[in-house]
Chains A and B, each alone.
Chain A
Amino acid sequence: MNAPTPGGAGLLRCCDASGCRAAGSGALLKALTAARGAAPLPVAAVRPVGCLRLCGRGPLVAWDGPAGTRLYGGVPPALAPALIAETGAAASPGPDPLAAHRLDPNHPFFRLQCSVVLEGCGQVDPEAIDQALAHGSYVQWRRCLLELSPEAVRQQVRRSGLRGRGGAGYPTGLKWDTVALQPPGPRYVVCNADEGDPGAFMDRCVLEGDPHRLIEGMAIAAHAVGAERGYIYVRAEYPLAIARLRRALQQAGQRGLLGQALLGTDRELRISVRVGAGAYVCGEETALLASIQGRRGSPRPRPPFPAQTGLWGAPTLINNVETLAAIPVILREGGDWYAAMGTAGSRGTKVFALSGAVCHTGVVEVPMGTSLRTIVETMGGGVPDGGALKAVQTGGPSGGCIPADLLDTPVDYEELKALGSIMGSGGMVVIDAAMAMPELARHFIRFNVQESCGKCLPCRAGTVQLEQLLDRFVERRAVPEDLERLEQLCRMVAATSLCGLGQSAPQPVLSTLRHFLHDYQAGCGAPAGEARP
């Protein structure tokens, strides 16, 4: 955490990201600024910052004072004067008006976090480039321009063992090498910020909280593969992220960090934002490229991979937000430093968005290899009101459910895959005992029915058939043969669909069939008082 600013009463950091804004942080921020103006004593400065992690208790405020950092949650604007007064010298007598809002910064939810990608998130004002610079942003980008060769950069990324954080886990260094080693000619860098998995909001946290880090990571990637043009493809549902990115790009351009003749060299780099229009399939890389070029977001078969033939036919590097945001720190500390965290196959840290039936909802960044139990029970506090945990869903509509008795599984690409789920982009939804699995599976299949682009038959029609089969289980009118049909259809859709959306669409069904077969068996047989047709 930051040291308190010297000579004052420290710094009040008020979360100004979407989650807390929805809980009223806009009004709180105004009230804090007003209360500060009216306060007589030397009191803390007020700074709007990005995500402070515990989104479920928003609006959140952190005070870096002489006695360390204190945290407050669910603060109504009416308490702004009390909060400002607390940062002053005089302790107010009488009952503590903030008692109900104090959070323990030593709670495992905060204590077990390992902020690497999110190190600036919640510290800097995302709209002020000076703060980002003071926090070390663009130092590595300068090094790239002045001293580091593209090969040296790629070597560090290879050593770090970083794998794609969008979900598939492809080795980042290998992807960069593939693009860099294409025949000479123009090439592009694309950041996939089309974070569409329901229950996933990690990337938004970076985009809204520390956009300069992403831009720096992207600039470094462009250097490493020899690109002079970049696009950030953001989903339209993130208006605040779009506004902050655009502002950050403009600021970086004004400081000569983007544009032409960078730092007096002959190098140039231009990055623009492209806004999606509400199509989940655009998170698939070939669909995303089509969308950037102004077309329908329909995927195409691979190969050729975008690394060979991407935007306008040129080699194109596509990385997810979290992957690119990890790059500056990897260059700063070295690839080996990053590789020392995590497990043999999954290095570094991973950001998860913890939500659903869990006490502490929010964003957590932990080293790879941390067990699901640590994340969900120790950090997340388990199911509210002492309810029973049934499963943890990872990977969104492409992922699966890990049952409660396997919670000691570490988060690791291969371990999660072995259990029929995936790491995914980082959505982690806790399911309690009240949920019947066929219903949850149908929820995901319906999502895929809605989002299927319609290009290939297995996905377009197969998901509809799956939904109808699942209806029978949810309404308890399935017959035992339906189980076999369901599984068969799942395998067919997975094996024959064109892109990742269709190939992984049956995953929520398959994984719940595997771990919660009894829920499906309970869906067989006529309901009381109603005959089967």
Chain B
Amino acid sequence: MFPSPPAPDVRTDALIQGLVRRQGGRAGALIEVLHQVQEHIGHLPPSALRQVARGLQLPLSHVYGVASFYHLFQLEAPSTHRCAVCLGTACFVRGSMELVQRLQVRLGVRLDDPDGGGGWVLQGISCLGACGLGPLLLLDGVLVAGRPLASPELLEARFKGLGLPLPRRDQP
């Protein structure tokens, strides 16, 4: 899991030291620290986990155990674009799986495939609590207004804005 020795990165190192200090170096603040590190660097690379472990004086196994337990901590660098469909019950009843099927075809990636394809990843997310507007779709964190199932042309306009090439003709 941690193949290479840590590449010394002075800037991240100082950042993480600062974040740890702000939490008083308490081991109980591990989740808070991981949140903040991820906020600053986008994900939690092995080098960052090592530095957090050192800063909080915790075994690396413990830090890795916590980071890998929670869904919101990303151990891999995120792909360029993220398309997230709410799979909560209300959205499910309103056809979120149909939306997923269409997006899998349109984006050429499978749901929850971490590698993604062409810079896109398609994820299912848990209920956002805006059930009145379901099925909900987030493109790069921005909610797609209107019902994406009922108005595919609106969705297509958003895809175009994000630089996604048009679907090939031979696709269904």
User: Is B16 positioned at the interface, with any CB of A under 8 Å from its CB?
Assistant: no
Given the known interface contacts A275-B35, A277-B71, A278-B71, the answer about A198 and B126 at a Cβ–Cβ threshold of 8 Å is yes
14 contacts between A and B (CB under 8 A): A19-B131, A54-B132, A55-B130, A56-B133, A199-B90, A199-B127, A236-B72, A237-B127, A294-B26, A295-B30, A296-B66, A356-B90, A357-B94, A429-B89
User: Is B34 positioned at the interface, with any CB of A under 8 Å from its CB?
Assistant: yes
Q: Tell which of A88-96, A250-258, A430-438, A494-502 binds the partner.
A: A430-438
| Contact among B70, B94, B129 with A19 in the assembled complex (CB-CB below 8 Å) | B129
User: Is B69 positioned at the interface, with any CB of A under 8 Å from its CB?
Assistant: yes
A56–B28 Cα distance when bound, in Å, is 40
A95–B19 Cα distance when bound, in Å, is 59
Return chain A residues, CB-CB under 8 Å to B116: none
Residue of B nearest to A241 (CB): B129
Number of A-B contacts (CB under 8 A): 138
Return chain A residues, CB-CB under 8 Å to B65: 296
| Contact among A293, A396, A431 with B28 in the assembled complex (CB-CB below 8 Å) | A293
User: Is B49 positioned at the interface, with any CB of A under 8 Å from its CB?
Assistant: no
A444–B35 Cα distance when bound, in Å, is 28
Return chain A residues, CB-CB under 8 Å to B130: 18-19, 22-23, 55, 201
Residue of A nearest to B38 (CB): A277
> Which A residues form the contact surface with B (CB < 8 A)?
18-19, 22-24, 54-58, 195-201, 204, 236-238, 274-280, 291-298, 353, 355-357, 361-362, 393, 396, 427, 429-432, 435, 440, 443-444, 447, 453
Check if A432 sits within 8 Å of B126, measured CB to CB. no
| Smallest CB separation, A330 vs chain B (Å) | 26
Residue of A nearest to B27 (CB): A294
Return chain B residues, CB-CB under 8 Å to A431: 93
Check if B89 sits within 8 Å of A199, measured CB to CB. yes
Check if A296 sits within 8 Å of B69, measured CB to CB. yes
Check if A280 sits within 8 Å of B126, measured CB to CB. yes
> Which B residues form the contact surface with A (CB < 8 A)?
26-32, 34-35, 65-66, 69-73, 87-90, 92-94, 125-134, 136, 143, 145
Return chain B residues, CB-CB under 8 Å to A197: 127
Return chain A residues, CB-CB under 8 Å to B145: 22-24
Check if B129 sits within 8 Å of A196, measured CB to CB. no
Residue of B nearest to A19 (CB): B130
Given the known interface contacts A19-B130, A57-B132, A429-B93, the answer about A274 and B66 at a Cβ–Cβ threshold of 8 Å is no
Residue of A nearest to B112 (CB): A450
Check if A355 sits within 8 Å of B73, measured CB to CB. no
Check if A279 sits within 8 Å of B71, measured CB to CB. yes
Check if B69 sits within 8 Å of A297, measured CB to CB. yes
A185–B31 Cα distance when bound, in Å, is 27
A276–B31 Cα distance when bound, in Å, is 8
Residue among B30, B66, B92 with most chain A CB within 10 A: B92
Known: A24-B145, A200-B127, A237-B128. 18 other contacts (CB 8 A): A22-B133, A54-B132, A56-B133, A57-B132, A58-B133, A196-B126, A198-B89, A199-B89, A201-B129, A201-B130, A278-B72, A279-B70, A291-B31, A294-B27, A355-B132, A356-B90, A357-B93, A443-B92
Return chain A residues, CB-CB under 8 Å to B30: 294-295
A58–B94 Cα distance when bound, in Å, is 18
| Contact among A295, A430, A440 with B66 in the assembled complex (CB-CB below 8 Å) | A295
| Smallest CB separation, A275 vs chain B (Å) | 6
Given the known interface contacts A55-B130, A199-B127, the answer about A429 and B90 at a Cβ–Cβ threshold of 8 Å is yes
Check if B34 sits within 8 Å of A277, measured CB to CB. yes
A356–B129 Cα distance when bound, in Å, is 12
Return chain A residues, CB-CB under 8 Å to B32: 274-275, 294
Return chain A residues, CB-CB under 8 Å to B94: 356-357
Return chain B residues, CB-CB under 8 Å to A356: 89-90, 93-94, 131
Residue of B nearest to A357 (CB): B93
8 nearest interchain CB pairs? Answer: A56-B132, A198-B88, A201-B129, A277-B70, A355-B131, A278-B72, A278-B71, A355-B90
A418–B131 Cα distance when bound, in Å, is 28
| Smallest CB separation, B33 vs chain A (Å) | 9
Check if B72 sits within 8 Å of A294, measured CB to CB. no
Given the known interface contacts A199-B88, A296-B65, the answer about A275 and B31 at a Cβ–Cβ threshold of 8 Å is yes
Check if B28 sits within 8 Å of A361, measured CB to CB. no
Check if A427 sits within 8 Å of B89, measured CB to CB. yes
| Smallest CB separation, B123 vs chain A (Å) | 12
Check if B134 sits within 8 Å of A355, measured CB to CB. yes
A58–B35 Cα distance when bound, in Å, is 31
| Smallest CB separation, B131 vs chain A (Å) | 4
Check if A361 sits within 8 Å of B131, measured CB to CB. yes
Check if B126 sits within 8 Å of A278, measured CB to CB. yes
Check if B31 sits within 8 Å of A277, measured CB to CB. yes
Check if B131 sits within 8 Å of A353, measured CB to CB. yes
A19–B26 Cα distance when bound, in Å, is 36
